[in-house]
């Protein structure tokens, strides 16, 4: 199973997405994601949102297809769009963000591999859209000037908010601090450690200066 190999070894087999054909074994994928969810819950200090299996399956299958498309760059834009369908009509609450992150936590690594092509490349467009929609998973993906991360659901849940803050600091993704709510959350967690984390203090100060300049 792709997602199990990705998590355990980082080595996966990626057949051509069009020529190979075939559908994912959804039952096996659901079992794999349920097991992975249990392991992830043991890694967080606060109760995690419930697992939404439909969102987890969508993310794992989409990530697998995106990995295939990263390797096999001969697929035209029409097939890329068919292989990477969105679920825009479905609400993205805390459970969705937690469940999607089982696979999408590797999105920054995939984006680095795929971003050597033009930003208008169909695959890269999908990856950037995912980064905007799933901010907790995409920490480390370089933001563009018009990036608007959808952070409300993440910031409203204690577990997701703590995970988001930890990743921002761990990956030094200071562009995320342009959001005042995110800055407050980082300060709440790391404020007492500012003498030992001068880079956090400097990043918050720079973000606040930029915010004040934009407000003038």
Residue 88 CA to residue 97 CA, distance in Å, equals 14
DSSP letter at 117 equals: S
Q: Please choose, from the candidates 153, 188, 140, 187, the residue with its C-alpha nearest in 3D space to the C-alpha of residue 52.
A: 153
Q: What are the tens digits of pLDDT across the range 168-202?
A: 999 999 989 989 999 999 888 876 655 556 777 77
What pLDDT sits at residue 118? 65
Phi, psi of 211 (to 5 degrees): -65, -45
Question: Where in the chain are the domains?
Answer: 2-143
* pLDDT, position 133: 93
pLDDT of residue 48: 98
**How many residues comprise the chain?**
216
- pTM across the whole model: 0.85
Position 197 scores a pLDDT of 66
DSSP output for 19-57: TS-----HHHHHHHHHHHHHHHHTT-SSPPPPP-HHHHH
**Spans in the chain with pLDDT lower than 50:** none
């Amino acid at each position: 199973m792709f997602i199990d190999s990705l998590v355990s070894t980082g080595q996966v087999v990626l057949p051509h997405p069009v020529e190979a054909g075939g559908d994912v074994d959804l039952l096996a994928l659901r079992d794999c994601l349920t097991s992975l969810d249990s392991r992830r819950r043991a890694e967080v200090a606060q109760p995690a949102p419930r697992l939404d299996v439909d969102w987890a399956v969508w993310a794992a299958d989409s990530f697998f297809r995106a990995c295939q498309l990263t390797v096999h760059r001969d697929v035209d834009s029409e097939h890329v769009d068919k292989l990477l369908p969105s679920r825009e009509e479905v609400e993205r609450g805390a459970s969705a963000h937690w469940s999607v992150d089982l696979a999408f936590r590797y999105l920054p690594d995939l984006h680095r591999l795929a971003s050597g092509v033009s930003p208008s490349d169909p695959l890269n467009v999908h990856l950037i859209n995912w980064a905007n929609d799933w901010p907790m998973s995409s920490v480390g993906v370089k933001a563009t000037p018009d990036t608007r991360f959808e952070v409300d659901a993440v910031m409203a849940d204690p577990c997701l908010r703590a995970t988001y803050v930890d990743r921002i600091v761990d990956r030094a993704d200071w562009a995320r601090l342009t959001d005042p709510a995110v800055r407050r959350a980082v300060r709440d967690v790391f404020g007492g450690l500012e003498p030992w984390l001068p880079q956090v203090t400097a990043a918050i100060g720079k973000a606040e200066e930029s915010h004040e300049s934009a407000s003038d």
